[in-house]
Structure 1
Amino acid sequence: MSRLQGKTIVITGASSGLGVEIARQAAAEGARLVLLARRLERLESVKASLSLAFSADVHIYSVDISQKAEVEKVFSHLLEDVPQIDVLVNNAGFGVFNEAHEAKWEETEAMFRVNVLGLISCTQMTIPHMKARKSGHIINVASQAGKMATPKSSVYAATKHAVLGYTNSLRMEMARDGVYVTAVNPGPIATEFFTTADLSGSYAKNVAKWMLKPEKVAQEVVKAMGTNKREINLPKWMNAGSLIYTLFPRTVERLGRKAFFKK
Structure 2
Amino acid sequence: MENLRGKTAIVTGASSGIGKAIARRLANEGMNVVLAARSAEKLSDVEEEINSSGSGEAVSVPTDMADKASVGELVRQAQEAYGSVDVLVNNAGQMLAGTVRSGKTDEWDSMIDVNIKGVLYGADAVLPKMIERCSGHILNIDSVSGHEVTKTSTVYSATKFAVRAISMGLEKELARTGVRVTNISPGMVDTPLMGSRSVDRKILDPENIADAIVYALTQPAHVNVNEITIRPV
TM-score w.r.t. the length of structure 1 is: 0.83
Q: Deviations over 1:223-256 (max 9, x none)?
A: 211432111111276xxxxxxxxxxxxxxxxxxx
Q: Distance in 1 between matches of 2:168 and 2:153?
A: 22
Deviation at residue 218 of structure 1 after TM alignment: 1.1
Instruction: Give the match for residue 37 of structure 2.
Output: 37
**Paired residue for 2:50?**
50
Structure 1: distance between partners of 2:28 and 2:167: 28
Q: Which moved more, 1:224-233 or 1:14-23?
A: 224-233
Please give the alpha-carbon distance, in whole angstroms, between the structure 2 residues aligned to 1:54 and 1:64. Answer: 29
Per-residue CA deviations over 1:131-175 (Å, capped at 9, x if unaligned) read 000011000001111011111011100000000111100001112
Match of 1:242 in 2: none
- In 2: Cα distance, 1:166 partner to 1:2 partner: 25
Alignment of 1:80-95 (within 5 A): 80-95=80-95
- 1:98 Cα offset (Å): 4.1
CA shift, 1:54, in A, is 2.7
Give the corresponding residue for 2:213.
221
**What code does the residue aligned with 1:69 have?**
A
Equivalent residue, structure 1, for 2:114: 114
Q: Please report how far the alpha carbon of residue 78 of structure 1 lies from its aligned counterpart in structure 2 after TM superposition.
A: 2.3
- Distance across 2 between alignment mates of 1:85 and 1:75: 8
Give the secondary-structure state (helix, strand or coil) at the position aligned to 1:6: coil
**Offset at residue 178 of structure 1 (A):** 1.1
Q: Secondary structure at the match of 2:159?
A: helix
Matching residue's letter, 2:208? K
Please say which of residues 77-86 and 150-159 is displaced more in the overlay: 77-86
Question: Root-mean-square deviation (CA), in Å?
Answer: 1.7
Q: Is the 8 A contact 1:17 1:192 kept in 2?
A: yes
Indicate the residue corresponding to 1:179 in structure 2: 179
Structure 2: gaps spanning 5 or more residues: none
1:1-263 correspondence to structure 2 within 5 Å: 3-195=3-195, 201=196, 204-205=197-198, 207-227=199-219, 228-235=224-231
Query: How many aligned residue pairs are there?
Result: 229
1:143–1:187 Cα contact (<8 Å) kept: yes
Provide, for residues 18-64 of structure 1, a one-character-per-residue CA deviation record: whole Å limited to 9, x for no partner: 01111111111111111111111111110111111134311110011
* Conservation of the 8 A alpha-carbon contact between 2:97 and 2:108: no
Give the structure with the higher percent helix. Answer: 1
8 Å contact from structure 2 (residues 14, 36) kept in 1: yes
Instruction: Report how far residue 208 of structure 1 moved.
Output: 4.8
One-letter amino acid matched to 1:225: L
Matches of 1:192 and 1:81, distance apart in 2:
30
Equivalent-residue separation in structure 2 for 1:32 and 1:11 (angstroms)? 11
Provide the secondary structure at the position in 1 that maps to 2:176. helix
Amino acid at match of 2:203: M
Could you tell me the TM-score, scaled by structure 2's length? 0.93
Q: How many percent identity over aligned positions?
A: 37
| Residue identity opposite 1:125 in structure 2 | A
The unaligned stretches of length 5 or more in structure 1 are 196-200, 238-263
Deviation string for 1:156-215 (max 9, x for gaps)? Answer: 0000000011110000111220111000011111100123xxxxx3xx20x351521111
Give distance in 2, aligned partners of 1:135 and 1:75.
16
Q: Cα–Cα, structure 1 residues 190 and 32, in superposed 2: closer, same or farther, change >3 Å?
A: same
